[in-house]
Amino acid sequence: MQVSIVVPIYDERENVERLYAALMQVLPKLRRSYEIIFVNDGSRDGTAQLLDAIAVRDMDLKVIHFRRNFGQTAAISAGLDYAKGDVIIMLDGDLQNDPADIPMLLAKIDEGYDLVHGWRKHRQDALVSRKIPSKIANWIIANVTGFPVHDLGCTLKAMRREIAQDLRLYGEMHRFIPILAHWQGARCAEVETRHHPRLFGETKYGIWRTVRVVLDLITVKFMIQYSTSPMKLFGGFGLLSTMGSAAACAGAVAMKWLGGIDMTGNPLLLLSGLLGIAGIQFLVLGLLGEVAARTYFESQGMRPYRVRQTRNFEPPRVLEGQEAIAELYQRVA
């Protein structure tokens, strides 16, 4: 298998057939073997039945049905886990990404890049609720991470399979895939892609997504820069806190001795100290919680999603006899 197309789907009944038709206008012309993987993220509007109907007609279309809505990151993670292609291409299921850009992405991969992500330069979305928050978020991310990017929110991407296998996506980390891949040494490129207005259905995102992006950015910054040496971060906070406490104490003593001002009963001083300590504690607990979640999932081989049913996938390999014993021995070792 040379190319895998991964499409996360959630309540896109009006767009499924149109998206499949658009893909079929492009994929047969690639002269490469391909598969299409639709990941149904717990849709309740009839999308699941339409996907199953298409899968009956086309054995190259594979469908993964989630038991409930787990979110876009989990859907993308499932698609990457099940994909067999040497190159994996992701795009949204709302017809705003254009399948006609797929050959361009593959050509860029053929130039030697490991990951190519799209840039919706002429984005066809609402200005206040979508475009302005997106520009602000991308500017913050580019400056914090040092990764030059215009549009991390564009789902349209192409990556080599070995890069996808090394990605571990939790929460809402799908938008940070280029940064995580770059951290692992992947050669990344950004290309301008077409973007169309949404014609059917409703968007699943709002302006409050920017807040979640900022919180995820803190996690990404920590994982990239401090995951192997967290003491550099926590120790730095500890030193700054200790120095600030010592300076505040010295200032209070000096004001009492020189000016006769009693600082011990000042409620603002006590409140500022309490809030400062609480803020640092919450930040540290949040970062440690992120690390603990990853340790929990990866140490047990767990995934942040549950599959109810699949279509057109090969049945799982059943180990018997000596082969099963050898497999168990390898896992224990």
In a domain, 305, yes or no: no
Instruction: Classify residue 46 as left (phi > 0), alpha (psi -120 to 50) or beta.
Output: left
pLDDT at 315: 63
Contact 181, 159 (CB under 8 A): yes
**Cα dihedral sign for 43, 44, 50, 56?**
positive
Of 47, 82, 36, which Cα lies nearest the Cα of 307? 82
Spatial separation of the C-alpha atoms in residues 262 and 220, rounded to whole Å: 45
CB neighbours of 266 closer than 8 A, spacing ≥ 6? none
Task: Tell me the sheet residues that pair with 117.
Answer: 157, 190
Residue 25: strand, helix, or coil: coil
Structural domain count, the chain: 2
Spatial separation of the C-alpha atoms in residues 60 and 74, rounded to whole Å: 22
**H helices, E strands: number in the chain:** 11, 8
**Segment 215-234, tens digit of pLDDT:** 778 778 777 777 666 767 77
Q: How far is CA 124 from the centre of its chain?
A: 22
Give exposure, 244-281, as e/b (b: 16+ Cβ within 10 Å).
eeeeeeeebeeeeeeeeeebeeeeeeeeeeeeeeeeee
Give the domain-ending residue among 207, 225, 243. Answer: 225
Spatial separation of the C-alpha atoms in residues 39 and 260, rounded to whole Å: 70
In a domain, 318, yes or no: no
Sole residue written with tokens 């100290």 = 273
Residues 220 and 84 grouped into a single domain: yes
Residues 236 and 155 grouped into a single domain: no
Per DSSP, 6 falls in state E
Point out the residues of the chain with pLDDT beneath 50. Answer: 318-320, 324, 328-329, 331-332
Residues 259 and 219 grouped into a single domain: no
Residues 218 and 241 grouped into a single domain: no
In a domain, 11, yes or no: yes
Spatial separation of the C-alpha atoms in residues 90 and 164, rounded to whole Å: 11
Sole residue written with tokens 């050898």 = 326
Which residue range is the domain that position 271 belongs to? 231-299
How does DSSP assign 110-168, residue by residue?
A: HTT-SEEEEE-TT--S-IIIIIHHHHHHHHHHHHHH----S-TT---EEEEHHHHHT--
Q: Distances from the Cα of 328 to the Cαs of 301, 321, 332, in angstroms?
A: 14, 11, 6
Please calculate the CA angle 46-47-52 and round it to the nearest 5 degrees. Answer: 105
In a domain, 287, yes or no: yes
Q: How many CB atoms lie within 10 A of CB 232?
A: 10
Spatial separation of the C-alpha atoms in residues 33 and 297, rounded to whole Å: 33
pLDDT at 49: 93
Residues 209 and 250 grouped into a single domain: no
In a domain, 312, yes or no: no
The CATH number of whichever domain residue 108 belongs to comes to: 3.90.550.10
In a domain, 304, yes or no: no
pLDDT at 332: 47
Phi, psi of 88 (to 5 degrees): -110, 130
Give the domain-ending residue among 163, 196, 225. Answer: 225
pTM: 0.72
In a domain, 157, yes or no: yes
Spatial separation of the C-alpha atoms in residues 241 and 238, rounded to whole Å: 5
Residues 246 and 168 grouped into a single domain: no
**Cα dihedral sign for 74, 79, 82, 87?**
negative
Residues 45 and 116 grouped into a single domain: yes
Q: How many CB atoms lie within 10 A of CB 40?
A: 28
pLDDT at 295: 73
Residues 77 and 118 grouped into a single domain: yes
Residues 68 and 167 grouped into a single domain: yes
Spatial separation of the C-alpha atoms in residues 165 and 24, rounded to whole Å: 26
**Segment 11-23, tens digit of pLDDT:** 888 999 999 999 9
Q: Say if strands 87-90 and 157-160 run parallel, antiparallel, or are unpaired.
A: antiparallel
Residues 167 and 245 grouped into a single domain: no
